[in-house]
Chain A
Amino acid sequence: MDRDRTRSEEARRRLRGRNLAVLFALIAFVVIIYVVAIVRMGGA
């Protein structure tokens, strides 16, 4: 029973880590597209 709870907590922790990584990647992607657009519009 305890072992099942520990396992479920561990699974939730890993899922949370993956979700945060995806969030970080998406934010980075948006920032890159925005900055590149600004630079390209500036004539680079």
Chain B
Amino acid sequence: MSDWTATDSSVGKATAEAATWRDFVELLKPRVMTLVVFTAIAGLMAAPGELHPILAAVAILCIAIGAGAAGAVNMWYDRDIDAVMARTAGRPIVTGRVSPESALEFGVILTAGAVAIMGLAVNWVAAALLALASAFYIFVYTIWLKRRTPQNIVIGGAAGAFPPMIGWAAVTGDVSLASIVLFALIFFWTPPHFWALALYKTGEYEKAGVPMMPVVAGHASTKRQMLAYAVILFPLALLPTVLGAAGWVYFAGAVVLGALFVLCAVRVLREDGEATRWRAARQMFGFSIFYLFALFALIMVDRPVLPGAAG
């Protein structure tokens, strides 16, 4: 009896028997990985040139594992604030199912493995970008910026913007203007996406001591900045067609999606969140995910009008 009591009360201290293989999969943030894989495939498909299907699959696998492994290291570092927020309180380290040390080892080994295999199997430019993305997410975002500045999401968002660029580099072996535009799409999409969530989770971020924009600058300023990013994103999303990385169907889709995204931001700007329970912000958060999926889906299906013009 006393054994059980001792184990149950030692929250955050994992016992060897506590973890299942599913807990280790959870450390890789599979839901975030979905978006990473999707945008990486889009970058790979939009790039001019060809890559053997097996090598393309290995490249995507390496990007997915690299991103997931960085997520595991993030969970290791953020375990104290994860315990405070309801959204993250069920994570494997917080609940004690996986020890912090195991999570760190798991993340570091997978990161190194993913980068090495990407280099050996595909090319070293893609491997270097993968290593840069992981290092950026862990050191710049998680360790340096997240707890220090409300610009955490803006600069840290760059880490999540790498996958299409890595996919592109896997095919071409270089970094071109079109791949930088794909990077920029996710970079400018990230702040309004996260701040829409932060608007209705302000209390949780405040409790955890994370200086999210709504906590530091207030709701009104955050909403104005969200609209600014949405407006910048509108013309930016049209560039893949201009640069020859996507066709006119994509262009038309980007116009419609971009207009709806700006409309969402306007509705959030005009919303009195306390009165509406942040209905518009919640809708914008949901739509932002659809927006990015749809945009990259269009890049995948709508091939360029002038093949080889990209770059």
Residues of chain A within 8 A of B274, CB atoms compared: none
State the majority secondary structure of interface residues on B. helix
Could you name 16 residue pairs across A and B whose Cβ atoms are closer than 8 Å?
A3-B1, A7-B4, A10-B17, A14-B20, A15-B17, A18-B20, A21-B21, A21-B24, A32-B61, A33-B117, A36-B58, A36-B120, A39-B52, A39-B55, A40-B121, A44-B54
Chain B contacts to A: CB under 8 angstroms: 1, 3-4, 16-21, 24, 52, 54-55, 58, 61, 117, 120-121
Are the CB atoms of B17 and A39 closer together than 8 Å? no
Are the CB atoms of B52 and A4 closer together than 8 Å? no
Chain A contacts to B: CB under 8 angstroms: 3-4, 7, 10-11, 14-15, 17-18, 20-21, 32-33, 35-36, 39-40, 44
Closest residue of chain B to A12 (Cβ to Cβ) is: B17
With contacts A10-B17, A14-B20, A18-B20 taken as known, whether A36 is within 8 angstroms of B121 at the C-beta atoms is yes
Residues of chain A within 8 A of B55, CB atoms compared: 36, 39-40, 44
Are the CB atoms of B52 and A20 closer together than 8 Å? no
CA distance A11 to B19 in the complex (A): 9
CA distance A3 to B4 in the complex (A): 9
With contacts A3-B4, A4-B3, A32-B58 taken as known, whether A11 is within 8 angstroms of B17 at the C-beta atoms is yes
